[in-house]
Structure 1
């Protein structure tokens, strides 16, 4: 016989259970797990420690088959965890044909011989009534973790809860429950049709299976709390399977790098721009200076009248008229000096005495 046995067992059907006296699941109303087509789900089945050595199985009412623990198939795994007093059922590639009622069963070895410990109803939906962003979340002892639960529009007015499978203890939206060092806060966001569970001050005993619940629909989540690393601050939140956290870290690192670049390049760019402006102003002034000097020289030359000397080569006398720039300026020296000399090539001869007389007087301009 193979390591596992997958056989049809009709004695486990409801009618035969009633004959044998089967202890039914007493955990309240059936839980409805809503799953995407093609998706997967892991369901925990808790049992009493006294059944650790007993046979456990996963029973499908759809095809009346039972799969015992420690069985692994392509789309189904049933694994016992005796140290945690539970076995898990993982179903993969779920399709509409998998919609139906299932049972977690323990063969007690006593009366009644069969005990149903859990009765989940699987419902495959294109838009699940209840789903979770991450089905497995982990954090360090003393730190925090958060879980986001989503629900459809038809479930907006139903009760939202965060529950623990083991003892069926639940925390309701709008209430903060503190237990010793850890606390649970649940906040609902009707606009986004989701509620967020925040667990703070984590303890190792907080590890285990939980589920997001809205009305009678739910979705399981596994929480793992590891020992805090010595010498390091306890994490505020960490998820081994949360891609959102990884994306947030990448975005934060990118923003920090961009801020460093801005911090370095902004002052450098400003200094380069200022230097460029100064060089441009210097070149502009340097190019304008020759034109200004030329204009100033022309202005000065235009304000002074240098009269030509009126004489003929045969004239014995050289006449020269000198006009002052501003003869009425009281602060200016009124003495005008004039040097008169022979013009080369002139036929005029200087007087015998060698003395040249020159009369210099202010020239009054006619209005």
Structure 2
């Protein structure tokens, strides 16, 4: 098994005239041993000209341990770490900048073999434009809770808004709080995270336009079709009853049915 201890790098970013400003990511995430986690790294700066990716580890090769993908529109690269072990504790989201200083931000993984302190059932959520979506954030720790957009604002009260989308937080269920985002827009797509105490849990939301909603075919029957189906069923039942009756008559020499 390859043990990763050093940095996760998105290398060879070339920017025009200006340097990369900063990287934003979560600070500490509770994860389960043997599981996987996706961590978003937001890079803020000017337009990139070109980019390629690499991962630095203690040994050559990455096997199925790590995967990095980049969303140039939202300027976020995502690191997925699989087969988590106790060795997976400290990482860096980092960018090597041509003709400028490298920029990075560290995050910590708290690997648990028992119950997690803060988790969601699914890091990938989908909603439809104009509809609502609800995310349940489960926890076993105390501290202030909330819902934040990566690199943006947070809601820690029972209601608020993030980038014009209303957010409702319900804390009435023991061991969990639910986050409902109302009136989704396509601009609502992106990375968010649950907050509880010192922990965060990233969640990616994809908002689909209503015309892209998968269609559902509904089959309807006319009154005539319904009558024919019922009549056919009654005829079938009558034939079965008469067959049974004549069978008993022949073997038991009964009277007429």
Q: TM-score, normalised by structure 2?
A: 0.67
Q: TM-score, normalised by structure 1?
A: 0.48
Q: Does 1:185 align with 2:182?
A: no
Given that residues 49 and 85 in structure 1 are in contact (C-alpha distance below 8 angstroms), is that contact kept between their aligned partners in structure 2? no
1:111 shift after superposition: 2.5
On the 8 A contact 1:58/1:66 being kept in 2, the answer is no
Encode CA deviations 1:51-75: one digit per residue, 9 max, x unaligned: 4524555567xx5x798xxxx7312
**1:84 CA displacement:** 2.9
Q: Give per-residue Cα distances to partners, 1:208-235, cap 9 Å, x unaligned.
A: 11111112111111100001128999xx
Q: Partner of 2:42 in structure 1? A: 46
Residue matched to 1:329: none
Answering whether residue 224 of structure 2 is matched by residue 228 of structure 1, we say no
**1 CA distance for matches of 2:75 and 2:33?**
30
Consecutive unaligned residues of structure 2, counting only runs of 5 or more, are 10-19, 216-257
Aligned Cα RMSD in Å?
3.3
Quote the residue 2:92 is aligned against. 103
Relative to its length, the structure with more strand (as a share) is 2
Give the 3-state SS of the residue equivalent to 2:87 in structure 1: helix
1:163 partnered with 2:151: no
* 1:151-198 Cα distance to aligned partner (Å, 9 max, x none): 11xx22x11011111x23111142333754x31111113x52111000
Partner of 2:115: 127
CA displacement 1:248-291 (0-9 Å, x = unmatched): xxxxxxxxxxxxxxxxxxxxxxxxxxxxxxxxxxxxxxxxxxxx
8 A Cα contact 1:31 1:217, kept in partner:
yes
**Relative contact order, higher structure (CA 8 A, sep 6+):** 2
Distance 2:64 2:214 in 1: 42
Which residue number corresponds to residue 175 of structure 1? 159
Cα gap change, 1:94 to 1:110, in 2 (>3 Å): same
Q: Give the Cα–Cα distance (whole angstroms) in 2 for the partners of residues 194 and 83 of structure 1.
A: 33
More helix by share: 1
Equivalents in 1 of 2:161, 2:205: separation in Å? 18
Q: Does 1:194 align with 2:176?
A: yes
Aligned pairs, number: 199
| Worse overlay, 31-40 or 50-59 | 50-59
Which residue among 43, 60, 65 is the counterpart of 1:75? Answer: 65
Structure 1: how far apart are the matches of 2:211 and 2:81?
34
